[in-house]
Protein backbone atom coordinates (compact mmCIF):
# COMPACT_ATOMS: atom_id res chain seq x y z
CA UNK A 1 0.00 0.00 0.00
CA UNK A 2 1.26 3.48 -0.86
CA UNK A 3 2.41 5.32 2.25
CA UNK A 4 0.76 8.63 3.08
CA UNK A 5 3.12 11.42 2.06
CA UNK A 6 3.54 14.20 4.58
CA UNK A 7 4.60 17.77 4.03
CA UNK A 8 5.74 19.19 7.37
CA UNK A 9 5.78 22.97 7.82
CA UNK A 10 7.92 24.21 10.70
CA UNK A 11 9.49 27.52 11.67
CA UNK A 12 11.67 26.55 14.61
CA UNK A 13 13.36 23.81 16.60
CA UNK A 14 11.23 21.02 15.15
CA UNK A 15 10.89 18.67 18.11
CA UNK A 16 7.48 17.54 16.85
CA UNK A 17 9.03 16.90 13.45
CA UNK A 18 11.72 14.84 15.18
CA UNK A 19 9.11 12.74 17.01
CA UNK A 20 7.37 12.04 13.70
CA UNK A 21 10.69 11.05 12.09
CA UNK A 22 11.53 8.78 15.05
CA UNK A 23 8.13 7.09 15.00
CA UNK A 24 8.42 6.46 11.26
CA UNK A 25 11.90 5.01 11.72
CA UNK A 26 10.69 2.82 14.61
CA UNK A 27 7.83 1.56 12.46
CA UNK A 28 5.04 2.84 14.70
CA UNK A 29 3.95 5.41 12.13
CA UNK A 30 3.34 4.25 8.61
CA UNK A 31 3.96 7.38 6.56
CA UNK A 32 6.70 9.06 4.57
CA UNK A 33 7.86 12.63 5.02
CA UNK A 34 8.04 13.90 1.44
CA UNK A 35 9.36 17.33 2.36
CA UNK A 36 9.98 19.66 5.30
CA UNK A 37 9.36 23.30 4.48
CA UNK A 38 10.27 26.32 6.58
CA UNK A 39 9.77 30.04 6.23
CA UNK A 40 12.96 30.49 8.31
CA UNK A 41 16.29 29.67 6.64
CA UNK A 42 17.93 28.79 9.96
CA UNK A 43 15.09 26.70 11.40
CA UNK A 44 16.59 23.69 13.15
CA UNK A 45 13.71 21.68 11.68
CA UNK A 46 15.42 21.94 8.26
CA UNK A 47 18.64 20.60 9.75
CA UNK A 48 16.80 17.68 11.35
CA UNK A 49 15.30 16.83 7.95
CA UNK A 50 18.71 16.90 6.26
CA UNK A 51 20.18 14.67 8.96
CA UNK A 52 17.61 12.06 8.01
CA UNK A 53 18.01 12.60 4.24
CA UNK A 54 14.57 14.13 3.98
CA UNK A 55 14.06 16.94 1.44
CA UNK A 56 14.28 20.31 3.18
CA UNK A 57 13.06 23.50 1.54
CA UNK A 58 13.27 27.08 2.68
CA UNK A 59 10.41 29.10 1.18
CA UNK A 60 11.32 32.66 1.99
CA UNK A 61 8.56 34.99 3.09
CA UNK A 62 10.65 38.01 2.16
CA UNK A 63 8.73 40.46 0.00
CA UNK A 64 5.37 38.90 0.93
CA UNK A 65 4.39 41.30 3.70
CA UNK A 66 0.62 41.80 3.45
CA UNK A 67 0.52 39.19 0.68
CA UNK A 68 -0.15 36.04 2.63
CA UNK A 69 -2.19 34.47 -0.16
CA UNK A 70 0.67 34.87 -2.62
CA UNK A 71 3.11 33.31 -0.18
CA UNK A 72 0.70 30.43 0.39
CA UNK A 73 0.50 29.78 -3.36
CA UNK A 74 4.26 29.22 -3.28
CA UNK A 75 3.77 26.74 -0.44
CA UNK A 76 1.04 24.97 -2.39
CA UNK A 77 3.35 24.68 -5.43
CA UNK A 78 6.16 23.27 -3.31
CA UNK A 79 3.85 20.81 -1.54
CA UNK A 80 2.35 19.66 -4.83
CA UNK A 81 5.80 19.29 -6.34
CA UNK A 82 6.53 16.70 -3.65
CA UNK A 83 3.17 15.01 -4.16
CA UNK A 84 2.11 15.59 -0.57
CA UNK A 85 -1.11 13.96 0.70
CA UNK A 86 -1.35 15.75 4.04
CA UNK A 87 0.22 18.84 5.49
CA UNK A 88 1.37 18.80 9.13
CA UNK A 89 1.90 22.15 10.78
CA UNK A 90 4.52 21.67 13.47
CA UNK A 91 5.36 25.01 15.02
CA UNK A 92 4.75 26.90 11.77
CA UNK A 93 4.58 30.50 12.92
CA UNK A 94 2.49 31.95 10.12
CA UNK A 95 -1.23 32.40 9.70
CA UNK A 96 -2.24 30.31 6.75
CA UNK A 97 -4.84 31.44 4.27
CA UNK A 98 -7.71 29.90 2.28
CA UNK A 99 -5.26 29.47 -0.62
CA UNK A 100 -3.44 26.74 1.28
CA UNK A 101 -6.52 25.41 3.08
CA UNK A 102 -8.54 24.94 -0.10
CA UNK A 103 -5.65 23.14 -1.80
CA UNK A 104 -5.70 20.52 1.01
CA UNK A 105 -9.29 20.36 2.31
CA UNK A 106 -9.41 18.49 5.64
CA UNK A 107 -5.86 17.45 4.91
CA UNK A 108 -4.00 19.97 7.06
CA UNK A 109 -3.27 19.03 10.67
CA UNK A 110 -1.96 21.21 13.47
CA UNK A 111 -0.66 20.55 16.96
CA UNK A 112 -1.54 23.08 19.65
CA UNK A 113 -0.17 23.12 23.23
CA UNK A 114 -3.51 23.54 25.05
CA UNK A 115 -6.86 21.83 25.33
CA UNK A 116 -8.77 23.67 22.63
CA UNK A 117 -11.07 25.53 22.49
CA UNK A 118 -9.41 26.87 25.67
CA UNK A 119 -6.36 29.02 25.06
CA UNK A 120 -6.02 29.43 21.30
CA UNK A 121 -3.20 31.58 19.92
CA UNK A 122 0.28 32.08 21.32
CA UNK A 123 1.95 31.74 24.77
CA UNK A 124 -0.83 29.44 25.82
CA UNK A 125 1.03 27.49 28.51
CA UNK A 126 1.61 30.79 30.36
CA UNK A 127 -2.03 31.75 29.82
CA UNK A 128 -3.22 28.42 31.25
CA UNK A 129 -1.04 28.86 34.34
CA UNK A 130 -2.15 32.44 34.89
CA UNK A 131 -5.78 31.46 34.50
CA UNK A 132 -5.39 28.87 37.21
CA UNK A 133 -6.81 25.92 35.32
CA UNK A 134 -6.04 22.55 36.89
CA UNK A 135 -5.57 20.71 33.62
CA UNK A 136 -4.13 21.71 30.31
CA UNK A 137 -2.70 19.57 27.54
CA UNK A 138 -2.48 19.48 23.80
CA UNK A 139 -4.69 19.06 20.77
CA UNK A 140 -4.23 17.76 17.26
CA UNK A 141 -6.88 19.22 14.97
CA UNK A 142 -7.71 19.73 11.33
CA UNK A 143 -7.05 23.26 10.21
CA UNK A 144 -9.91 25.44 9.09
CA UNK A 145 -9.98 29.15 8.39
CA UNK A 146 -10.12 30.23 12.04
CA UNK A 147 -7.29 30.49 14.55
CA UNK A 148 -6.96 27.04 16.17
CA UNK A 149 -10.65 26.34 15.60
CA UNK A 150 -10.75 23.28 13.35
CA UNK A 151 -12.25 19.86 14.15
CA UNK A 152 -10.43 18.09 16.97
CA UNK A 153 -8.82 14.70 16.33
CA UNK A 154 -7.02 13.83 19.60
CA UNK A 155 -6.28 15.55 22.88
CA UNK A 156 -4.01 14.65 25.78
CA UNK A 157 -4.57 15.98 29.28
CA UNK A 158 -1.71 17.27 31.41
CA UNK A 159 -2.40 18.15 35.05
CA UNK A 160 -1.03 21.48 36.28
CA UNK A 161 1.07 21.15 39.40
CA UNK A 162 1.41 23.75 42.15
CA UNK A 163 5.09 24.37 41.48
CA UNK A 164 4.74 24.53 37.70
CA UNK A 165 6.42 27.29 35.74
CA UNK A 166 5.75 28.07 32.10
CA UNK A 167 8.87 26.01 31.26
CA UNK A 168 8.02 22.94 33.32
CA UNK A 169 4.43 22.86 32.09
CA UNK A 170 5.50 23.38 28.46
CA UNK A 171 7.96 20.50 28.74
CA UNK A 172 5.33 18.07 30.06
CA UNK A 173 2.85 19.16 27.41
CA UNK A 174 5.51 18.78 24.71
CA UNK A 175 6.11 15.17 25.73
CA UNK A 176 2.45 14.44 25.06
CA UNK A 177 2.54 16.37 21.79
CA UNK A 178 5.25 14.03 20.61
CA UNK A 179 2.95 11.06 21.17
CA UNK A 180 -0.40 12.31 19.94
CA UNK A 181 0.73 13.95 16.71
CA UNK A 182 2.03 10.68 15.33
CA UNK A 183 -1.09 8.88 16.54
CA UNK A 184 -3.34 11.30 14.71
CA UNK A 185 -1.29 10.95 11.52
CA UNK A 186 -1.42 7.16 11.84
CA UNK A 187 -5.23 7.27 12.15
CA UNK A 188 -5.36 9.41 9.03
CA UNK A 189 -3.01 7.02 7.24
CA UNK A 190 -5.27 4.10 8.15
CA UNK A 191 -8.25 5.99 6.67
CA UNK A 192 -10.03 5.94 10.01
CA UNK A 193 -10.90 9.62 10.45
CA UNK A 194 -14.15 11.10 9.23
CA UNK A 195 -15.25 14.67 9.73
CA UNK A 196 -18.92 15.65 10.12
CA UNK A 197 -19.28 19.29 10.93
CA UNK A 198 -17.06 19.89 13.93
CA UNK A 199 -16.91 16.26 14.96
CA UNK A 200 -14.19 13.87 13.98
CA UNK A 201 -15.07 10.23 14.41
CA UNK A 202 -12.53 7.47 14.49
CA UNK A 203 -13.61 4.19 13.00
CA UNK A 204 -12.61 1.01 14.75
CA UNK A 205 -9.81 -0.98 13.36
CA UNK A 206 -6.86 -0.54 15.62
CA UNK A 207 -6.09 -2.08 18.97
CA UNK A 208 -9.06 -2.45 21.30
CA UNK A 209 -9.17 -0.01 24.16
CA UNK A 210 -7.68 2.78 22.07
CA UNK A 211 -8.43 6.16 23.54
CA UNK A 212 -8.53 9.54 21.93
CA UNK A 213 -8.42 11.52 25.10
CA UNK A 214 -5.17 10.58 26.69
CA UNK A 215 -4.65 10.88 30.42
CA UNK A 216 -1.03 10.26 31.27
Q: Which residues belong to the active site?
A: 112
We find the least distance from the C-beta atom of residue 21 to ligand GRF, in angstroms, to be 11
Task: Give the DSSP per-residue string, 102-141.
Answer: HHSTT-EEEEESS-TTSS-SSSHHHHHHHHT-SEEEEEEE
Q: Would you call the peptide bond into 8 cis, given omega within 30 degrees of 0 as the criterion?
A: no
Return d(Cα 156, Cα 177) in angstroms, integer. Answer: 8
Helix (H, G, I), strand (E, B) or coil at 13: coil
* Residue placing its CB nearer to ligand GRF in the complex, 43 or 84: 43
* Residue placing its CB nearer to ligand GRF in the complex, 73 or 118: 118
We find the least distance from the C-beta atom of residue 181 to ligand GRF, in angstroms, to be 8
* Residue placing its CB nearer to ligand GRF in the complex, 66 or 146: 146
> How far does CA 200 lie from the centroid of its chain?
16
We find the least distance from the C-beta atom of residue 120 to ligand GRF, in angstroms, to be 11
Binding footprint of ligand GRF on the chain (CB under 6 A): 10, 12-16, 90-91, 111-113, 174, 177
Helix (H, G, I), strand (E, B) or coil at 69: helix
Amino acid sequence: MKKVRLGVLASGRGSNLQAIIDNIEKGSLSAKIAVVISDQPSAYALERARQHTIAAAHVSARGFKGKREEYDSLLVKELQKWDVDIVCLAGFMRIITPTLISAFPNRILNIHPALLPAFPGLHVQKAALEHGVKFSGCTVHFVDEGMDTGPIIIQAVVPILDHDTEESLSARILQQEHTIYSRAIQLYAEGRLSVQGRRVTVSKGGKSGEEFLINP
